[in-house]
Amino acid sequence: MAPSLLVLVVSSVWTALSLPLMMLGVAADGEGGGRCPPVLCGNVNISFPFRIVPEQATDTNCGAIGFQVQCSNNTPYLGFYGGDYWFQILNIFYGNGSMLVADIRKLQDFNISDPRGCHAPTSNSTTKLGYPFYNSPANKNLIIYNCTRGPPTAERERLVETVCHSNTFFRVAESFDKSGGYSSYFLAGCDAVFIPVLGGSGKVNASNYKELISDGFLLTWQLPSSPPLPPPTSGKFTPGANKSV
Ligand SMILES: *[C@@H]1O[C@H](CO)[C@@H](O)[C@H](O)[C@H]1NC(C)=O
Ligand SMILES: *[C@@H]1O[C@H](CO)[C@@H](O)[C@H](O)[C@H]1NC(C)=O
Ligand SMILES: *[C@@H]1O[C@H](CO)[C@@H](O)[C@H](O)[C@H]1NC(C)=O
Ligand SMILES: *[C@@H]1O[C@H](CO)[C@@H](O)[C@H](O)[C@H]1NC(C)=O
Ligand SMILES: *[C@@H]1O[C@H](CO)[C@@H](O)[C@H](O)[C@H]1NC(C)=O
Ligand SMILES: *[C@@H]1O[C@H](CO)[C@@H](O)[C@H](O)[C@H]1NC(C)=O
């Protein structure tokens, strides 16, 4: 290979490699290259691409988009305070891009001393989840049924009644059904809400719902790739100029 060609190849590889890293440095502070220093919150090491954001803040100048962490009473939570999701982070596995989180808000349901009455959760844990986080296929699912009437006897023996009674039940979905979904777990006359759980190997006892929820489930994450580049501009940048056609 001619030396000049080699230089070209090497430099374009370098450009390809460094571009996403530059993009990750959202609003880089100029010297840190966009990486926040590692911080311990409780016993969880919060490092790049994650970053701690102060309460009420909506941005910091390091870390990657979507990887904000709130550290509250030495407990790390994913997302902004009052944001879309509020998962407690139990562990982050930087080596394989995954993390263990618990949907602890769901534990506030099934509270028999709640003045509003004992109630079952009404939304799936993963409802608000989106890029860059994905539910891992390694998780099982704790299903909570809220039925308008008692389920058929044949189903009844697979279900565990919740502390709320009034036709609300737990069941653990060990795996997808043949169609690749959970359709075989839906019961006529019952609403079904799904909470991913790790559950470990073997059969999971749905009676231990508190432990199952607090032991958390696996999320995987994907680092943002370079967003599409804006069209090349010649001359001065005018805000809103590209909106008029
Ligand atoms: C946290 O992780 C970072 C990056 O892996 C490492 O450099 C740092 O020493 C760790 N800090 C602690 C307190 O474990
Ligand atoms: C990543 O590694 C951790 C620690 O070895 C492991 O517990 C976890 O299951 C792995 N995550 C995935 C998605 O395989
Ligand atoms: C249950 O509700 C009572 C009354 O509102 C409250 O004091 C208690 O902290 C709740 N328990 C849980 C685990 O949320
Ligand atoms: C079950 O669903 C009904 C109708 O949505 C609701 O009124 C009731 O509170 C739910 N039961 C529990 C225990 O959450
Ligand atoms: C909850 O999750 C199940 C299984 O993925 C899905 O079939 C169902 O539509 C979801 N329900 C809501 C209200 O999002
Ligand atoms: C499930 O756990 C409950 C309470 O921990 C226990 O009473 C019950 O026998 C267990 N069921 C099975 C099938 O192991």
What tokens appear for 122 in the block?
A: 């009404």
**Contact yes or no for 132/227 (Cβ under 8 A):** no
Task: Report the separation in Å between the CA atom of 124 and the middle of ligand 6, taken as the mean of its atom positions.
Answer: 25
Residue 10 forms part of a structural domain: no
Q: Which of 71, 11, 8 is nearest to 38 (CA)?
A: 71
In a domain, 211, yes or no: yes
Question: Which of helix, strand or coil describes residue 218?
Answer: strand
Q: Residue 125 falls within a domain, yes or no?
A: yes
In-domain check, residue 200: yes
Q: In the beta sheet, which residues pair with residue 133? A: 221
Residue 162 within any structural domain of the chain:
yes
Distance 112 CA to ligand 3 centre (A): 8
Contacts 24+ apart (CB under 8 A), 76-82: 76/41, 76/42, 76/44, 76/46, 76/52, 78/133, 80/53, 81/55, 81/56
Q: Which ligand 4 atom sits closest to the C-alpha of 120?
A: 14
Q: Nearest residue CA, atom 4 of ligand 1?
A: 47
Q: Model pTM?
A: 0.78
Helices (H), 117-219: 153-156, 209-214
Choosing from 91, 98, 197, 215 the residue with most ligand 2 atoms within 8 A of its CB, the one to mutate for a pocket test is 98
User: Which burial class, exposed, middle or buried, applies to 18 when counting CB atoms under 10 A from its CB (0-12, 13-18, 19+)?
Assistant: exposed
Helix (H, G, I), strand (E, B) or coil at 152: coil
- 18 part of a folded domain: no
Q: How many domains does the chain have?
A: 1
Residue 199 lies in a domain: yes
Within a domain: 188: yes
- For the stretch 135-157, pLDDT in tens is 998 899 999 999 999 888 888 88
Domain that holds residue 143: 86-221
- Grade residue 107 by pLDDT with cuts at 50, 70 and 90: confident
Q: What is the pLDDT of residues 65-99, one digit of tens each?
A: 788 899 989 999 998 666 656 799 999 999 999 99
